Structure 1
Amino acid sequence: MRSFRGFAVVDIETTGILPGFRHRVAEIAVVHVDLTGEITHEWSTLVNPDRDLGPQAIHGIRAAEVRRAPKFEQVAGDLLELFRGRVVVAHNLPFDSMHLRAEFARLAVDLSGYLSGGVCTMRLAGAVFSGMRRSLAECCKAVGVDGVRFHTALGDALAAARLFGRLVAGAPGIASSRLQGLPDVHWDLPAMPGALVKPVRRQAAAIAEPHFLARLVDRVPREGDPAMDAYLAVLDGALLDRQISVSEADALVEVALDFGLHKAEVIKVHHAYLRDLARAAWADGRVSVEERRDLEAVADLLGLDADEVELVLREEQAAPTQRPQAQVAEVSIGGLVLRPGDRIVLTGAMRRQRSELKAEAEGLGLQVVSSVSKKTRVVAAADPDSLSGKAKDARLLGVPVVAEAAFIRALESMKE
């Protein structure tokens, strides 16, 4: 085979099994292996699939990460260069090929010939070890490949590359017969622009996003009260599920910047918001343990010191019972409150069965509908940073997107 450089071991994580059901690649990795079986290069990136992420419990990819990742068309040129002059290798090659063909077909690039000339380590392992189980983990275990982080594209690609090297070295006769006669298509690839964007890799689980306040300019407050209504409206929606997603943090920063609000002014609004919650907590003359925890959770989300909770609770306890006109449009202890008749939309692969959640919600008098409108109360999502069409529509219309756990808590509250 002319211009043969070695092998390109590829692995992908996807939003689902079948491209025909609009499932897309969400992460891809390519590992180069030379003719001796040594790993010479590795490359990986998350991919924005422009839809919900499907089984997140399996692949562990968060929407907060992929929404800032490149789309497939932005890395297609890089992939072609990573494949050029190399035979593609993958564990369960038919699955990876199916999705890669579909992604490139969307760009009017036919990669079926190239992918048909690849090597499947799952089949190769079965030929070398009679009765070998199919999974990558089992194959790696059989040949002594350990220390692998499975269910990430790069981890699986590195594992498959090491597995491939062990199989070729351990049974050169069988491997050689399998590698012979591969179609000479590895160099016949189109040219596409490359290096358009930088790859975006997964963050370690322990790495947290910096607080959104860090992205606002810290200046001396202006004289007079700024118009805060737009910011407060976004803040109300963001705090319904008692977490601020990356999408919501972006929206808060955008509104603050659009209105020219400085960090000190935003912190002032956060203090006022916490104070309104403290007033609501004292409305019945007592503050429960749950209410105090809720205040502490909100304070943390807003970047306020924990001591601030004790301060506002003491001050509001001693304040007159008549509550002044609140600056916050909608404030409630515990976050999301649902009432019979509210319209709800569900999106994403939730931990509980969608049909079960729908039946429970409708049994409590909620309307579970399939599309988002201005009349929608909330969109409950498997991931509040979801990239699904429903979540996108909600953000355009200003409808809050809340986490599944918050939605379930609201359902439980309706039963009390």
Structure 2
Amino acid sequence: MDGFAVVDTETTGIDAAHRHRIAEVAVVHLDRDGAVTGEWSTLLNPERDLGPQAIHQITAAEARQAPRFADIAGDLVDRLRGRVVVAHNWPFDAMHLRAEFTRIGLDTPFDDLAGLCTMRAASVVMPHSRRSLLACCTTAGLPAMRWHTARDDAMAAGALLGHMLASAPDAVQPTAEQLRAAAWAWPDLPRDRVAPAHRRPADHVEPHFLARLVEHLPRDEEPAVDAYFAVLDDALLDRRVSASDADALVDVATRLGLRRTDVLAIHHTYLRALVDAAGEMGERERADIALVARLLGITPDAIGAPVALDRAPTIGGLVLHPGDKIVLTGMMTNDRDVLTARAAAAGLRVMTTVSRLTRVVAAADPDTMSRKADSARALGVPVVDEAAFVRALAALEG
């Protein structure tokens, strides 16, 4: 064998049989003595909702632009070929890798005995440790990592393997099954088709979408401002501009031949319409308009008009009415059954599929790639986050 390939996956759920997918994969190479000789990782577009984002912290804005598994299969195979595969709780990673390769028509040797499991080995070497990767590494005296990222979890599992190779080599000697898997005759697949995609740094700040407008396109007609306003209405339903919203706004502006300066002027007009509806307004509404101003790239001081409302603004805010059809998607913070019951009690019609008559789709992450959200975008139905939906539901409940 050529050494070890330590793998880790972050997934959209625990059961590959229920359509859960890999959202991030990493491979760390170790030589026979446990020294790290290389590493590789990438986010993946799972083409579905991302599931437990509170655990893996992968956002839909990151995953939606990542490669699909089929795009990187050749790169992954090249990093597994000739090596004993290793993972902490190998059967879990084996199940998901096997399912992904099966989807692209490729057989694998990845049964539950084909990989060296550091969790199982650690139960022999350090029987008093709990079974998690964090607990095993702590017991072994290894440094903390950024847990629940595929790259760092793979590095941590590799460090744990290196520790056991040095302290208890008999517990981690490859078995005949593992050596047979290492010698598997993988087919030659295309490599380097796409670049790996990585997580954004924790302190990453996404540039405002106005900065992404194509400035060199000339104006060839008067812009259809109402068309842009309609997109902007939906974008501001939940008082945020998600990555999908920003893409839609940039696309509309570009198709209309609008330059950055044109769009900024339109945003001022939009905000003025919001303020012109003003009567008397409290601090909450004032903060709301200031937030919309910031989302539009306008400083609150530039509003230049009395900030007062005699009624809540409907522009840029989600308002629900009895009889509205709504759809829920994704793993939400609130219990889905409770939200459904509240919505039904308030007179909303909770549907399982999206149609042109759907008022709104509420998602755990508004950039989700779930089928429901994809259908909503295709039909022009707004997709808002859970917090915006809960606020609108509370207002309807009175």
TM-score, structure 1 length as denominator?
A: 0.91
Cα distance in 1, alignment partners of residues 222 and 255 from structure 2: 16
Map 1:75-224 → 2, pairs under 5 A: 75-112=72-109, 116-176=113-173, 179=175, 182-187=178-183, 188-218=185-215
Q: Is the aligned partner of 1:300 residue 2:305? A: no
* Aligned sequence identity (%): 53
Alpha-carbon distance in 2 for matches of 1:114, 1:56? 28
Could you say which residue in structure 2 is the equivalent of 1:312? Answer: 305
Post-superposition Cα deviations, 1:248-298, rounded to whole Å, max 9, x if no partner, equal 100111111111111111111110111111112x1xx31211111011100
Deviation at 1:375, TM superposition (A): 0.3
Give distance in 1, aligned partners of 2:76 and 2:110: 16
State how far apart, in whole Å, the 2-side matches of 1:115 and 1:412 are.
49
Instruction: Please tell me whether the aligned partners of residues 32 and 39 of structure 1 are also in contact (alpha carbons under 8 angstroms).
Output: yes
Aligned partner of 1:50 among 39, 47, 50: 47
Task: Single out whichever of 300-309 and 105-114 deviates more from structure 2.
Answer: 105-114
Q: Is the 8 A contact 2:13 2:21 kept in 1?
A: yes
Moved over 3 A (4+): 113-116, 178-183, 217-225
For structure 1, list consecutive stretches of 5 or more residues without a partner in the other structure: 322-329
- Structure 1 residue 379: Cα displacement: 0.1
Q: What is the identity, as a one-letter code, of the residue corresponding to 1:305? A: T
Contact 1:88–1:115 (CA under 8 A) maintained in structure 2: no
Cα deviation for residue 219 of structure 1 reads: 6.3
- The CA RMSD over aligned residues, in Å, is 2.1
How many residues of Structure 1 are paired with residues of Structure 2 in the alignment? 396
- Partner amino acid, structure 2, of 1:304: I
Secondary structure class of the residue paired with 1:112: coil
Secondary structure of the structure 2 residue equivalent to 1:272: helix
Q: TM-score normalized by structure 2? A: 0.95
In 2, are the aligned partners of 1:291 and 1:333 still within 8 Å (CA)?
Answer: no
For structure 2, list consecutive stretches of 5 or more residues without a partner in the other structure: none
Q: Tell me, in whole angstroms, the C-alpha distance in 2 between the residues paired with 1:32 and 1:209.
A: 33
Asked if structure 1 preserves the Cα contact closer than 8 Å seen for 2:109 and 2:181, the reply is no
Equivalence for 1:24: 21
CA change 1:224–1:5 in 2 (3 A) is closer
The answer to whether the aligner puts 1:346 opposite 2:339 as a matched pair is no
Counting only pairs closer than 5 Å after superposition, residues 197-276 of structure 1 correspond to structure 2 as 197-218=194-215, 225-276=222-273
Distance 1:88 1:260 in 2: 53
Residue type at the aligned position of 1:269: I
Residue equivalent to 1:415: 397
SS at match of 1:368: strand
Question: Corresponding residue for 1:396?
Answer: 378
State how far apart, in whole Å, the 1-side matches of 2:181 and 2:91 are: 17
Native 8 Å contact 2:70 2:104 kept in 1: yes
1:161-213 residue CA offsets vs partner (Å, 9 max, x unmatched): 0000001101123333x556633331321211010100001112321221111
Cα deviation, residue 221, structure 1: 8.6
Is the 1:117–1:182 contact (alpha carbons within 8 Å) kept by the matching residues of 2? Answer: yes
Local SS of the residue matching 2:390: helix
Question: Any idea what the Cα deviations from partners look like across 1:360-389, whole Å, max 9, x if unmatched?
Answer: 011110010000001000000000000000
Partner of 1:378, secondary structure, is strand
Distance 1:307 1:347 in 2: 38
Match of residue 363 from structure 1: 345
